[in-house]
Amino acid sequence: MSADDATESLSTDESGRGSRFAISFILVTILIDTLGFGMIAPVVPALLSELTGEGLAEAARYGGGLMFLFASVQFVAAPILGNLSDRFGRRPVLLVSLAALGLDYVMMALAPSIGWLFFGRFVSAFAGATFATANAWVADTSAPDERARHFGFLSAAWGLGFMLGPMLGGLLGEYGSRVPFWAAAGLALANVLYGFFVLPESLPAANRRRFDFLRANPVGALLQVRRYPALIGLLVVLVPYQIAHDANPAVWGFYTMHKFAWSVSDIGWSLFLVGASIMFVNAFLVGPTIARLGERGAVYLGFTAMSLGFGIFAFATESWMMFAGILPFSIVGVAMPALRGMMANRVPDSSQGELQGATASLMSLTMIVSPLVMTGLFYGFSREGAPLDFPGAPFLAASLLALVAMGLFAAAAGRGEGVARTGS
């Protein structure tokens, strides 16, 4: 058997040993992307206060700026990487991106100032925009009726990273603020070596298309979805959903330190629990929920639970209430795999990378808005002299946005149930 034949066998034989190793690489890649993001979350409020000499309310705006930059870059990078993967295949894009991410963590570990911190987030955002390519790899290797479940595995890896990242960041941060970045760099570079030997290409040459700059940009990628009218409504649902979802990374640390005087360790362990809950839902409840309720029912359930969880966070008066709110909030984990499965089944195989790039760009666009809105609300309702002392305002806004997303989904869900499996 030739090397090409072996690669093709690995990418199509899902029961084979090589395929299991390849899937593990994809999951670890998502895990490492999220670990790097989560590791710095517990230390950001205190770090920014230290670097700027400002209080928590003011430092929150700098935190919003970091997230704004990260999301802005991913907005541009995701469709580029997605379209490159449609042209050259998923394997080279994933390996090169992960190598760049590992080297960037080294640079951030050596950063001497807050300016370097912002520059490092710029590079890590571009290199870390691999979620679109990873989703495309899964779409390539999954039957249409299995895609939602397999997307759930990717979401579980994301949840695991969000779970372990803050915990590891809090623990490693005790030995120095640079240590978490060195750890993330080692993981990323080690995964490049692992993937070089085990990751097969998932996109056959016959399904590739030429790279087009008019399509490989955020506006162009999003405009391409006009060819699939049944998809547009589902993409619109992502806007209020993602703005709401990003309230947690934007203000969780600031809110809990301000209202409950939590320590960095407290924040890390609480985010660990958030990630663990979401990971459990993604890994064990997505399949059974979709089997019982269908993809639409899973989305309705997830958005309803998300709204309830954010409502509990907004009006919590004791620390234990924040932990109580995590349980319903985590059920949102059944919504996105189901929604991604519905969207993937509405475009042909040759455009899966483009779809995932457009989806990632749209979500990144909302991530540009969300940190500014949520940290702005936190600042406006928690600063000294605020007309109304209500630091939970960002979470209340997120709760209402989850209901808006559910209403938009109800209007869009019945439009189109699939497309041909070929095309450009």
How far, in Å, CA of 70 to CA of 398, rounded? Answer: 20
Place of tokens 């390849």: 22
| Cβ–Cβ < 8 Å for 267, 42 | yes
CA atoms within 13 A on the CB side of 38: 30
- Name 76's Cβ contacts closer than 8 Å, sequence gap at least 6: 126, 217, 218, 361
Q: Which residues contact 294 (CB under 8 A, 6 or more apart)?
A: none
What's the pLDDT score for residue 1? 35
Give the range of the structural domain holding residue 123, as residue numbers without chain letter: 3-202+213-412
What does the pLDDT read at residue 50?
Answer: 67
Cβ–Cβ under 8 Å, residues 353 and 85: yes
Residue 398, in any domain of the structure: yes
- Say if 417 falls within a structural domain: no
Domain of 253, CATH number, reads 1.20.1250.20
Distances (CA, A) of 42 to 162, 172, 256, 262, 314: 11, 11, 11, 10, 20
Residue 316, in any domain of the structure: yes
Q: CA torsion sign, 216 to 217 to 222 to 224?
A: negative
> What is the chain's pLDDT, residue by residue, as a tens digit (424 residues)?
333 333 333 344 443 334 566 677 778 777 777 777 677 666 666 666 666 666 666 777 777 777 778 777 877 777 777 777 777 778 888 888 888 888 877 877 776 667 777 887 788 777 766 677 777 777 777 777 777 777 777 777 776 777 778 778 777 777 766 777 788 788 888 888 888 887 777 777 767 777 666 665 666 666 666 777 778 888 889 899 989 998 988 899 889 988 998 887 788 788 888 878 887 887 788 889 998 999 999 999 999 999 999 999 999 999 999 999 999 999 998 998 888 888 877 777 666 666 766 776 677 677 778 888 898 899 899 888 878 889 999 999 999 999 999 999 999 886 655 444 444 4
Give the chain's domain count: 1
The percentage of the chain sitting over the pLDDT mark of 90, rounded to a whole number, equals: 18
Residue 424 lies in a domain: no
Instruction: Write out the two tokens for 131.
Output: 């979620």
Q: For 27-85, write each residue's pLDDT tens digit.
A: 877 777 777 767 766 666 666 666 666 666 677 777 777 777 877 787 777 777 777 77
Tens of pLDDT along 368-403? 788 888 988 998 998 888 788 899 999 999 999 999
In a domain? residue 403: yes
Position 154, amino acid: L
Prediction pTM value: 0.65
Would you say 181 and 286 are in contact if contact means Cβ atoms under 8 Å apart? no
Q: Is 45 among the domain residues?
A: yes
Is 319 contained in some domain? yes
Give domain status of residue 344, yes or no: yes
